[in-house]
Amino acid sequence: MTSTALILIITLLTLGSYWVGMQRSIKVAGGVSQIKNMHSLPQQFGLLTAFCCGLPALFLLLLWGIVEPIIIQSLLVDSLDAQVQALSSADLSLYLNDIRIMADSTLSELSNDGVKQQAALYLQVLKDQASILKSGLILITALASVMFIASRFKLSFSARALSESVTKFLFLSCSVVAIFTTLGILMSVLFESLQFFKSVSSLDFLFGTTWSPQIAMRSDQVGSSGAFGAVPLFAGTMLISFIAMTIAAPVGLLTAIYLSQYASPTLRTIAKPMLEILAGIPTVVYGFFAALTVAPFIRDTGEALGLNVASESALAAGIVMGVMIIPFVSSLSDDALNAVPKALKEGSLAMGATESETIKKILLPAALPGIIGAMLLAVSRAIGETMIVVMAAGMAANLTANPLAAVTTVTVQIVTLLTGDQEFDSPKTLAAFALGLMLFVTTLLLNVIALKVVRKYREQYD
Amino acid sequence: MTNQLKTGQKALNMNDSSMHSNTDRIKKSLKKRNSKEKRFRLWGRLAISFGFLMVAILFADIGTKAYPAFFQHWIKVDIEFNRQWLSIEPSDSAVRPDMQALKQANYSATVKKSLYQMFPSITARGDKRDLMKLLSYSAEFKIEDLVTANPDLLGQRVSLWLLADDDVDSYFKSDFTAGQSSGRINDKQAMWLKQLFDSGAVEKRFNTLFFTNSDSREPELAGIRGALSGTILTMIIVLAISFPIGVSAALYLEEFAPKNRWTDMIEVNINNLAAVPSIVFGLLGLAVLINIFGLPRSASLVGGIVLSLMTLPTIIIASRASIKAVPNSIREAAIGLGASDMQVTLEHVLPMAMPGILTGTIIGLAQALGETAPLLMIGMVAFIVDVPTNFTDAATVMPVQIYLWADSPESAFLAKTSAAILVLLAFLLIMNFSATFLRSKFEKNGQ
C-alpha cells in the first residue's frame, strides 16, 4: 500500500472516528435528551476520538518513513557477500543503487549479474513485507486507540479540556515550524560549508580574487587546481545592488513622500495598485525584461555613444532590479512617514514653513530611522535577488567597478553550480552551500539591524 | 575708533528699518522658497511617473512580443495515402492492413512525396530538403493518427491542413508579400511560400496548441499545459501545507502564547524568515528534503514543500494582523457567556479574522506562484514533455518554463516566453484583485 493511499485511509478513519466518538458519548449519556448530564458536548468527544485515531497513526507513518530505509539497507547489506560488504562506502552505495534500480524496474534482464539479481529479488521481498507490516501496524494502532478512548467515556469524562489541550499543542507545534525551518536552513548550509572548507581554506574563499570553480578530471590538466576566491562575486553583488539602490532609494522615497503628503485621493487610488502590480510581478519576468529589452537597449545606446558595453552588463540587471525594489522601498518608507506624529508636521506648518520644508526638515529627520531600516531591508532584498541576475548579469567573474562590464553575483553562482548534473560531495557543489551560507548570514544581519532600528524608533513615539 | 563708530551707525540704521527689511527679506525669500516647493513637488511627480512609465513599458513590451505567439500558420497539403510510399505490406489495395503494419508505416516519406507532388518542378536534393523544412515535423504524426483512426483513407488523396514550421510561421508574421528571403527562409522557400499563399493554401489560426501541448524542442509545438499542471499540483501542496500551519501558528501566537522569551524568539524568527532570500530555501530543499529524506528530485511535492516554508511567514504575519484587529469585546462577551478559550478562538475570533487571513493567504500564494529560484535548486528545471499527474512526477512550473524558454536560442521561443508570461501575469492579477476585493469588503464590514 502506498503512503498516499495510507494517508487517505487514515483521513477517512479519522473522519469516521469523529462520528463514532459522538455516537458513543450520546449512548453513554443515555440518549440525546440526557446530554446535559455529560461534562462535555458530543462534538468534543468526537474531536477527541478523531485526534486519538489520526495523530498516532500519522506519527507512526512519519517514523516508519524515516526508519524503514535504514533497516532495509542494513538487512540487505547483511545478506550480501563479505566481499561486497568490505567495499568502501562510496562503492557500496553504488552497488546498492544498482540493486535498487533493478528491484524497481520490471525488466529482469537489466544486468546479467546473478548476485545482484538475487539481491534485487530479496530487496523486493523486504519492501513488500515492510509495506504490509507498515499498513497493518498503523491501521491497528489507529483502531486500538479509538477503542481505548471510547471505552473510557463516562458522564464525568472531560473530553473538552483534553481535546482543547491537544488542539493547543497542535497550534504550538505549528508555530514552531518556523524555528525548525530556520534551524534546517542553518544546519544544511553550515554542514555542507564545513565540508567545503575542509578542501578549500576559508581564507582563500573569503579573500581570494579568482573564481573558477572547476574540478580537474586529471591532475595534469590546465587550471586543474580550481580557484574558489569569492571576492569577485561579492564585488559583483555589491555593484548590482548599488546600481539598484541608486534607482530604488530616491524614486521609492519620493514616491512615498508624494503619495502620503501631496497626492489627491484619486491619484492615490490609482498609484497604490500600480505599485502593487510592480511588486507582484514575478522576478523571472523582470529577468526576461532585463535580458531581452533593457540589456540590448543599453548596449545599443552605449555603442552609439562610443562606449564598450558588454551584452550582459551589470547596469541592465541593476536598473531592472531597482525598478523591482521601488514598491518595497516606498511602502516601507510610507509606514515610517505615517508613524511620525501629526503634531510635529502641523507645528511646523503653523510656524510658516512650506510643505517641502516641513518634509525635509521635520518629517524626514523624524522618520529617518524607519527609512534607514527600509533601505537596509531593500539592500538585503537586492543581495538575495536571483532570477534577474541569473538571466541578465552573466557568468563572468570579473573584479570590476565598471557598470558596463559583465559581472556575476553570489546567487548566480549558486544557481550555476547546482543546476544540472552534480555529485554531492565535490567541492564545486559544496561551494554553492558556502556561498549560500554567506548570503544567509549577510541578509540575516541586515534584517536584524533593520528590524532593531525600526523597532527602537517606534518606541519613541508610541 | 572710526571703525567702531561706523559699525555703530550701521547698527542704528538697521534697527531703524528692521521692521521693514525683515518683511522684505521674507518676501524676497518667499519666492525662492515657493519655487523650491514647486521643484520638490515636481520631483515627487517625476518619481511616480517613473513608476507608471516602467509598468507601461513592461506591459507594452511583453504584450507586443507575446501577440504573435497566439497565432499560427497552417499550410494545406494534398496528402496521398499511397501504399507504396507508406511501404505497407501487402501493397494490394483489397487487403486491409492490421494495426501493426499501420504503426510501422513510413509516414514521413508519405508527407515528403505528397509535398514534392505539389511542386513537381523541384528536383534538386537540396531544394527538396528545403521544401520539407516548410512543415513542422509533427505532420507525420498527424497523418499517422488519421490513418490509424480510419484505415479506409489508404489509397485516397486528401487535402489536409498541416502545421507550418516555426521559421515559416515567423516569416508569415513578418512582411512577406515581396516573396524575398528573410530570417531563416531563403529565396526559393520564400517563392514557394508566396505561391502557396496566393493559392490560398496558407491560413492563420488561433494557437490552441499553446494551451494543449507540453514543452517541446520545436517552438511551433511547445505549449504550457505541462507547466500549468505542474503549477496546479505545486500550488495544491502549498495551500495544503501553508494555510493550516500558518493559521494555527498565528492563532497560537496571538491568542494562547504566554509573553516570554520563547514566544519572542518565535516572533523574531518568523520576521527574519520572511526576509531570507528565496534561493536559500532552495538550498534547504536540496540538502534536507532530497538528500536526507530522499524525496524525488524535480517533483512538485518537494517544490510545494519548499514554497510552503517560504510563504509561511507571509501568511502568519498577515493572519496575526487580522486576528489582532478583532475587537476585544467579542472575546470578552464570549468568555462572559462561558465559552472556553478554544471556543472563543475557533468559533468567534477565527471567523471574524477569516477575510484578512484569506487575503494574506492569497498574497502568499501569489508570491509562491511567481517564484523560480528555489525550484531551480531542487531540479524542477528539467525538460519535461509528459504532463505530470502525480505529486511525485517530474514536473516544472510556469515561471521555470518561462526561464527555460527565455534561455532558448530559437527566436520563435521569444514570443512563446512572452505569451507564457502573459498567462502567468493574468493569474497573478486575478489573485491580487481578489485579495484587494476581499480586503476592501472586510474593511467595510469592520467599520
Range name among A114-128, A274-288, A435-449, B239-253 with the lowest pLDDT average: A114-128
| Region of residue B217 (phi > 0: left; psi between -120 and 50: alpha; otherwise: beta) | alpha
CB-based burial, B313-338: b 16+ in 10 Å, e otherwise: bbbbbbbbbbbeebeeeebeebeeee
pLDDT at B9 over 80: no
Instruction: Give the whole-angstrom CA distance, residue A452 versus residue A370.
Output: 10
Residue A122 pLDDT exceeds 50: yes
Together in a domain, B430 and B332: yes
Question: pLDDT for B395-414, tens place per residue?
Answer: 999 999 999 999 887 778 88
- Do the domain assignments include residue B230? yes
Residue A218: which pLDDT band, with cuts at 50, 70 and 90?
A: low
Highest mean pLDDT among A33-47, A248-262, A299-313, B279-293: A248-262
Is B194 found in the same domain as B124? Answer: yes
pLDDT at B444: 60
How far apart are the two ends of chain B, measured CA to CA in Å?
77
Same domain for B337 and B376 = yes
pLDDT of residue A310: 80
The DSSP secondary structure of A188-222, one letter per residue, reads: HHHHHHHHHHHHS-HHHHHH---EE----SSTTST
Tens of pLDDT, residues B297-355? 888 999 999 999 999 999 999 999 999 999 999 999 999 998 988 999 999 999 999 98
Domain end: B66, B85, B117, which one? Answer: B66
Q: Report, as an integer, the average pLDDT of B125-147.
A: 82
Q: With 90 as the cut, is the pLDDT of residue B294 above it? A: no
What pLDDT was estimated at residue B145? Answer: 83
Q: What is the CATH number of the domain that holds B341?
A: 1.10.3720.10
User: CA–CA separation, A161 vs A174, rounded Å?
Assistant: 20
What average pLDDT is seen over chain B?
A: 85
B48 shares contact with chain A (CB less than 8 Å): yes
In this structure, how many other beta carbons lie within 10 angstroms of the beta carbon of residue A72? 16
Q: What is the pLDDT of residues A393-426, one digit of tens each?
A: 877 788 888 888 888 999 999 998 888 666 666 7
Phi/psi at B383 (5° precision): -80, 110
Whose grid coordinates read 551560507? A437
- Verify whether the Cβ–Cβ distance A440 to B40 is below 8 Å: no
A280 and B432 in contact by Cβ < 8 A?
yes
Percentage of chain A surpassing pLDDT 90? 40
Does B416 lie in the same domain as B334?
yes
pLDDT, tens only, A279-315: 889 999 999 999 999 999 999 999 899 888 887 889 9
CA atoms of A112 and A73, how far apart (whole Å): 22
pLDDT of amino acid A249: 95
Contacts of A436 in chain B (CB under 8 A): 279-280, 283
Task: Determine contact, residues B373/B284, Cβ cutoff 8 Å.
Answer: no
For the segment A351-365, the average pLDDT, to the nearest whole number, is 92
pLDDT (0 to 100) of residue B407: 85
Nearest to A448 among B272, B281, B284 (CB): B272
Same domain, residue pair B431 and B329:
yes
- The answer to whether A279 and A248 are in contact (CB under 8 A) is no
Q: How far apart are CA A245 and CA A138, in angstroms?
A: 56
Q: Which of B257, B400, B421 has its CB closest to that of A285?
A: B421
Question: Is residue B6 very low, low, confident or very high in pLDDT (cuts 50, 70, 90)?
Answer: low
The pLDDT assigned to B251 comes to 95
Beta bridge partners of B75: B162, B202
8 Å CB contact between A196 and A430: yes
Position B3 scores a pLDDT of 54
Rounded Cα distance, A278 and B349, in Å = 33
Spatial separation of the C-alpha atoms in residues B351 and B346, rounded to whole Å: 7
Give the range of the structural domain holding residue B13, as residue numbers without chain letter.
2-66
Is B433 among the domain residues? yes
What is the mean predicted confidence (pLDDT) over B214-239? 90
Residue B378 domain flag: yes
Q: List, by residue range, all CATH 1.10.3720.10 domains of chain A.
A: 227-461
Region A359-374: what's the mean pLDDT? 91
Chain A within 8 Å of B265 (Cβ-Cβ)? yes
pLDDT at site B421:
95
| Mean pLDDT (whole number) for B199-203 | 84
Residue B233 lies in a domain: yes
B254 and B320 Cβ atoms separated by less than 8 Å: yes
Q: Given B48, B245, B424, which is nearest A174 (Cβ)?
A: B245
Task: Look up cell 549558486; give the residue.
Answer: A414
**B50 to chain A: nearest residue by CA?**
A251
Give yes or no for a contact between B248 and B234, defined as CB atoms under 8 angstroms apart: no
Same-domain check for residues B140 and B30: no
How many CB atoms within 10 Å of residue A169? Answer: 13
Grade residue B78 by pLDDT with cuts at 50, 70 and 90.
Answer: confident
Do B321 and B348 lie in a common domain?
Answer: yes
- Cα A308 to Cα A180: distance, rounded to the nearest angstrom: 49
Residues 80-139, chain A, touching B (beta carbon < 8 A)? none
**Residue B215 within a domain:** no
Which cell goes with A42? 458530543
Let me know if residue B180 belongs to a domain: yes
Strands B71-80, B157-163: parallel, antiparallel or unpaired by DSSP?
Answer: antiparallel
Which residues from B are below 8 Å from A383, CB to CB?
277
How large is the ipTM?
0.87
Q: Which fold has domain A227-461?
A: MetI-like fold (1.10.3720)
Q: Are residues B335 and B423 in the same domain?
A: yes
- Report how many domains make up chain B: 3
String of DSSP letters for A297-331? HHHHHHHHTT----TT-HHHHHHHHHHHHHHHHHH
CB-based contact, B276 to chain A, within 8 Å: yes
Residue B40 pLDDT: 94
Going by C-alpha positions, the residue among A138, A133, A118 that lies closest to residue A59 is: A138
Is B270 in the same domain as B400?
yes
Q: What pLDDT shows up at residue B153?
A: 76
Note whether B294 and B335 are same-domain residues: yes
Domain boundary among B12, B47, B66: B66
**Separation CA B130–CA A230 (nearest Å):** 50
Q: How confident is the model at residue B436 (pLDDT cuts 50, 70, 90)?
A: confident
Query: What is the model's pLDDT at position A451?
Result: 83
Interface contact B288, partner A, CB < 8 A = yes
Q: Tell me the C-alpha distance between B81 and B91, whole Å.
A: 12
- B300, B431: one domain: yes
Separation between Cα atoms, residue A82 and residue B125, nearest integer Å: 64
Question: Taking CB atoms and an 8 Å cutoff, what residues of chain A touch B269?
Answer: 178-179, 182
Structure confidence at residue B89 (pLDDT) = 65
Q: Are residues B266 and B408 in the same domain?
A: yes
A165-198 tens-digit pLDDT: 999 999 999 999 989 999 999 999 999 899 888 8
Q: Would you call B280 and A255 a contact, using CB atoms and an 8 Å cutoff?
A: no
Task: Classify residue B331: in a domain, yes or no.
Answer: yes
Domain boundary among the residues B66, B82, B98 is at B66
- The identity of residue B105, as a single letter, is A
Q: For position A107, what pLDDT does the model report? A: 55
Is the model's pLDDT at B266 over the cut of 60? yes
Task: State whether A387 and B373 contact (CB < 8 Å).
Answer: yes
A274·B36 Cβ contact <8 A: no
- Examine the pLDDT at A461 and tell me if it is beyond 70: no
Amino acid at A56: P
For helices A114-151 and A42-79, give the axis angle rounded to 10 degrees: 160
The average pLDDT across B139-163 equals 81
Grid cell of B404 as nine digits: 527555460
Inside any domain, residue B219:
no
Kindly state the DSSP code that residue A62 receives in the 8-state scheme: H
The CA distance from A438 to B279, in Å, is: 12
As given in the structure block, the three cell numbers for residue A13 are 478513519
Q: What is the pLDDT of residue A113?
A: 67
CA dihedral (A173, A179, A181, A185) in degrees, to 10, reads: -160
The C-alpha cell at B435 is 485579495
Among A68, A285, A439, pick the best mutation site for testing chain B contact (most B Cβ within 10 A): A285
**Amino acid (1-letter code) at residue B115:** L
Q: Which pLDDT band, with edges at 50, 70 and 90, does A327 fall under?
A: very high
